[in-house]
Amino acid sequence: MIRQLVPIAALLFGSGLLLFAGGIHGLILPVRGTIEGFSASSLGLLGTGWAIGYVLGCVFVPRLVGAVGHIRTFGVMCAIAAVSMLLQALIVESWAWIPIRAASGFCFAGAAMIVESWLNERAEPSTRGTIFGVYTMVNLAAMTAGQMVISLGDTTGFLFFAVGAIVYCLALVPTALSTSASPSPLTSVKLNLPVLWRNSPVAVAAVFLVGVSNAAFGTLAAVYAGGVGLALTSITLFASLPILAGALAQVPVGYLSDRVDRRIVLLAVAALALATDIAFVVLAPESRIANLLLVGAFGAAIFAMYPIIVAHANDHAPPGTSIQVSGGLLMVFGIGSIVGPLVAGVLMSEVGPRGLFLTTIAAHVVMIVFTLWRMTQRSAVAESDKGSFQIGVPARVATPETATLASGEEEAMPLEPGVPVRPETTDKK
């Protein structure tokens, strides 16, 4: 394994730095915003701004790379991300933070896509699975470390904004010093919603709702934790523990989904998420242990959903279209990520911290009801036609290049309106 990883060690290090800075950036804003007295609705708009920027980055950065190249674009992305973080330290106003956060989301998406394209170019078919697995672990560890480091210093000043900006700048060093040729053009994605819907209505509806719930939680978890009286160390654990729990949960969830109807597994995971939603609203726990136990179970559920949905959609897709399907679902997830923080922020402003989990309750109830209905309309995929479940990075930091790296497809067939779904998965009616 070491021999396989040595040629890409610099890229993995650069990706780790990028996610470390992103972890700091994503958590310091709601923590500092709460200290400054920003409303929950304005803090929710930070998540909406990030999602808008991230989706636009996935769409437009491939064109920028085509015009000026990978290394120059990556340098610009890291530089603007660092500047955006410093600007937010200098202009501590909610109206300014929202568009700046959108700019940082655009840059983060672009930088991540470029790193992944380099890894994709370096990966041989025999090593692709290993590289993607290590890349996923590096990203999860770096993002969690970035969030946890906030508990080590003063969140009322300039410190963590400066540290995050420094690390964003350091992330460009490995690619800037790379002597290898630039990789192939980035994967571009065009959202074709009618085709995605015809391929798998469950996947489209569920991934939108996962975007709503996960983005609401990812943006406002720290606000909730602070609102119920948790200390700073517990707030960082409340935000980071769910990501690790979700990563661990993907192993048993993936094992089950490869052996039974993935929709049943999705329903079970959604039911667990709904149970923890209700527990947060009804029990309103105040103790550190109770909150961390509940949020661990919550994270195990919500962060395991996205890979199930992608695998289910690919089970129904025509051969050779997994990149288009995964990329399209990522765009739908991004649309949900725009809606979720906005709705949750407004509810939290009106009813207090529990507004966050009222939002996730609504998303998970609709997901369960719609999936149950669709199970009466379409039969399960035959076992022989199922693909394999793939453990993935959290959807909020996934890009179209992530799907390319994970799938191993170098060229994909176009997913166009005339392509039929597989015969064994056609509707009963």
**What are the domain boundaries of the chain?**
2-425
- When pLDDT is cut at 50, 70 and 90, the band that residue 166 belongs to is very high
Phi, psi for 161 (deg, rounded to 5): -65, -40
Residues 77 and 106: their CA atoms lie apart, in Å, by 8
Query: 70 near 182, Cβ under 8 Å?
Result: yes
Fold classification of 2-425 is: Growth Hormone; Chain: A; (1.20.1250)
Helix axes 288-316, 201-227, angle to 10 degrees: 160
Task: Convert the pLDDT of each residue in 270-325 to its tens digit.
Answer: 999 999 999 999 999 989 999 999 999 999 999 999 989 988 888 887 876 777 88
Residues 80 and 329: their CA atoms lie apart, in Å, by 27
Residues 113 and 296: their CA atoms lie apart, in Å, by 29
Task: Convert the pLDDT of each residue in 38-70 to its tens digit.
Answer: 999 999 999 999 999 999 998 899 889 888 888
Task: Convert the pLDDT of each residue in 203-224 to its tens digit.
Answer: 999 999 999 999 999 999 999 9
Longest dimension (CA), the chain: 61
Task: Choose between 427 and 60: higher pLDDT.
Answer: 60
